Amino acid sequence: MKKNKVRKYLVPIIVFLFLVWGFFWPMSNYIEGPGDAADLSQIVNIKNHPDRQKGQFMLTSVGIAQAHPFTYAWAKVNPYYSIVSADSVTGGQNVSEYDKVQNFYMESSINEAIYAAYKKAGKQVKRTYNGIYVLAITNNSKFRGKLKVGDVVVKIDGHHFSNANGFVNYVKGKKLGQTLSVEFKRNGHLHTVSAPLVKIANNRAGIGITLADDMQVKPEIPINVNPGDVGGPSGGLMFSLQIYSQLINQNLRHGKKVAGTGMIDSQGDVGEIGGIDKKVIAAKRKGATVFLAPYIKPTKLILKYEEDHETNYELAKKTAKKYAPNMKVIPVTSFSQAISKLQKLND
């Protein structure tokens, strides 16, 4: 009798513990899968320039979450989910550093999109160079512990330059072990630190940081862009299309849900991104019938270094053919080309 009672309570407890383990036990890997496809008219707000056109421009994203035993097993059998290491996601950075970098990439993509769209629309916009943003610091850098990810270097040895190349070229002229003075901004406050240069790539002297230009744009017509929790640089193309269509009040979508992805620079050139197959799935789930994909010519050298040895456009087209056969995938190399192809959607 007692054995039956023990078995009666023990089995549910074991099942409960198994479920807790399966759903909540954290693993060292991460799962990447389709994220969201958000309506950009809810994200971009331009003073006196509402979105009056039918359809949507959609910002696509990749969903990333820490793996648990059950989600790990699900990702193993699901073709458009991927199991990746923590380092491949964060680049070896801690959560705080990773978030700062992703937020910087997002802010930069928004700034570049604003600049490109306003210029294309013939609206006034100013572009200001703040300095070099610290994306990462090497382990051998003598500035490690003095500089942090998220700092903005504004001067080196008292010199300010108009772009990152100016800073890089100045440091190139220095010798290994030579002390350098760096003035930087952190949380709105200026600080100055000094340290000797170390050996970096190509056996030359350097500070030992990964950097990017920190730019700020100020358009004549006020704009607010709130992407929420989405980070990274891949939304540039879609931001620029949404902003441009609102500024000129032009029917670019023809009532369709148009999704897409791609980095954009101040010249309007579109660059490749990661996880485009997952973004196609996310777009399909939200009803998109058109997807804009970055395009580069698939040469042997390029394919050697591409994700799965396929260009963004090739992977997007293959994914849509299999999982979203009614979706039209359009290759684009520039913001201007994207506008031109959208204008011909109904042709």
Q: Which residues are catalytic?
A: 234, 279
CA distances to 133, 220, 251 from 217, in Å: 16, 10, 26
Q: Is residue 308 classed as helix, strand or coil in its secondary structure?
A: helix
Rounded CA-CA distance 247/64 in Å is 33
Task: Provide the pairing of β-strand 29-39 with 257-260.
Answer: unpaired
Question: In degrees to the nearest 10, what's the CA dihedral of 239, 110, 86, 323?
Answer: 0
Cα-based angle 268, 249, 103 (whole degrees, multiple of 5): 45
The pair of structure tokens assigned to 64 is: 């990333």
Question: In degrees to the nearest 10, what's the CA dihedral of 39, 267, 109, 202?
Answer: 150
Rounded CA-CA distance 156/168 in Å is 10
Distance from the Cα of residue 19 to its chain's centroid: 34
Rounded CA-CA distance 133/212 in Å is 5
Q: Determine contact, residues 259/329, Cβ cutoff 8 Å.
A: no
Rounded CA-CA distance 197/204 in Å is 9
Residue 131's φ and ψ, nearest 5 degrees, are 155, -160
Rounded CA-CA distance 116/161 in Å is 23
User: H/E element holding 307?
Assistant: none
Give the type of residue at 121. A
10 Å CB burial of residue 178 (0-12, 13-18, 19+) is: exposed
